[in-house]
Amino acid sequence: MRRVLLIASKTGYQTRAFGEAAERAGVELVFVTDRCRQLDNPWRDGAIPVRFYDEAAFLEAIGAVARQQPFDGVLGVGDRPALFAALAADALGLRGHPPHAARVSGNKLETRRCLVSAGLPCPDFHDVALDGDVDAAIGGIDFPCVVKPLALSGSRGVIRAADPDTLRAAVDRVRRLLARGDVRARRDSADTRLVVETFVPGREYAIEGLVEDGAFRVLALFDKPDPLDGPFFEETIYVTPSAEPGVTRRRIEQGVGDAVQALGLRQGPVHAECRVNDEGVFVLEVAPRPIGGLCARALRFAGPHRSVLSLEELLLRHALGESVNGYRRETAASAVMMIPIPRAGTYRRTDGVAEAAEVPGIVDVVMTAKRDQRMEPPPEGASYLGFVFARATDPGAAVEAVRQAHARLGIVIDAPIPVV
Give the integer Cα–Cα distance in Å for 340 and 151: 22
The pLDDT assigned to 293 comes to 81
Residue among 120, 277, 129, 104 nearest 194 (CA): 129
- Highest mean predicted confidence (pLDDT) among 38-47, 74-83, 356-365: 356-365
Has residue 56 got a pLDDT over 90? yes
Q: Yes or no: say if 401 and 360 are a contact pair by the CB < 8 Å rule.
A: yes
For the chain, what are the domain ranges? 2-103, 124-198, 332-420
Query: For 180, which DSSP code?
Result: S
**Minimal CA–CA distance to 350: which of 315, 386, 319, 301?**
386
Closest to 194 in 3D by CA, of 278, 109, 271, 274: 109
The domain at 332-420 falls in which architecture? 2-Layer Sandwich (3.30)
Structural domain 2-103, CATH architecture = 3-Layer(aba) Sandwich (3.40)
Q: pLDDT (tens digit, 9 = 90+) per residue, 113-162? A: 999 999 999 999 999 998 888 788 777 889 999 999 999 988 999 999 99
CA–CA separation, 259 vs 256, rounded Å? 5
What is the average pLDDT value for the chain, to the nearest integer?
92
Instruction: Kindly state the helix (H) or strand (E) to which residue 244 belongs, with its residue range.
Output: none
The pLDDT-based confidence of 420 (bands split at 50, 70, 90) is very low
Q: What is the pLDDT of residue 35?
A: 66
Cα–Cα distance, 143 to 220 (Å, whole number): 33
pLDDT at position 43 is 46
- What's residue 10's pLDDT? 66
- Whether the predicted pLDDT of 58 surpasses 70: yes
Q: What is the pLDDT of residue 83?
A: 96
- For 51, what's the count of Cα atoms within 13 Å in the CB-facing half-sphere? 8
- Give the confidence band of 168 by pLDDT, cuts at 50, 70, 90: very high
Residue 40 reports pLDDT greater than 70: no
- The dihedral region occupied by 266, where left means phi > 0, alpha psi between -120 and 50, and beta the remainder, is alpha
pLDDT of residue 42: 45
Q: How confident is the model at residue 418 (pLDDT cuts 50, 70, 90)?
A: low
Question: In whole angstroms, what is the distance from residue 14 CA to residue 340 CA?
Answer: 19
Predicted local distance difference test score (pLDDT) of residue 134: 79
**307-346 pLDDT, tens digit each:** 899 999 999 999 999 999 999 999 999 999 999 999 999 9
pLDDT digit string (tens) for 271-295?
999 999 999 999 999 999 999 889 9
Q: In the predicted model, is pLDDT for residue 202 greater than 70?
A: yes
Strand duo 73-77 + 2-8: pairing: parallel
**Which band of pLDDT confidence, cut at 50, 70 and 90, is reported for residue 1?**
confident
pLDDT value of position 251: 97
Is the model's pLDDT at 419 over the cut of 90?
A: no
Q: What confidence score (pLDDT) does residue 36 get?
A: 52
**Which pLDDT score is estimated for 228?**
94
The pLDDT value given to residue 41: 47
Rounded Cα distance between 410 and 408, Å, is 7
CA distance 112 to 120: 9
**In a 10 Å sphere around its CB, with 0-12 CB exposed, 13-18 middle and 19+ buried, how is residue 182 labelled?**
exposed
**Cα(410)–Cα(393) distance, rounded to whole angstroms?**
28
Looking at domain 124-198, its CATH architecture is: 2-Layer Sandwich (3.30)
Helix (H) or strand (E) holding 278: none
| Residue pair 170/181 in contact by the 8 Å Cβ criterion | no
What pLDDT, on a 0 to 100 scale, did the predictor assign at position 37? 46
- pLDDT confidence bin for 13, thresholds 50/70/90: confident
Alpha helices of 264-394 — where are they, by DSSP H? 311-319, 353-357
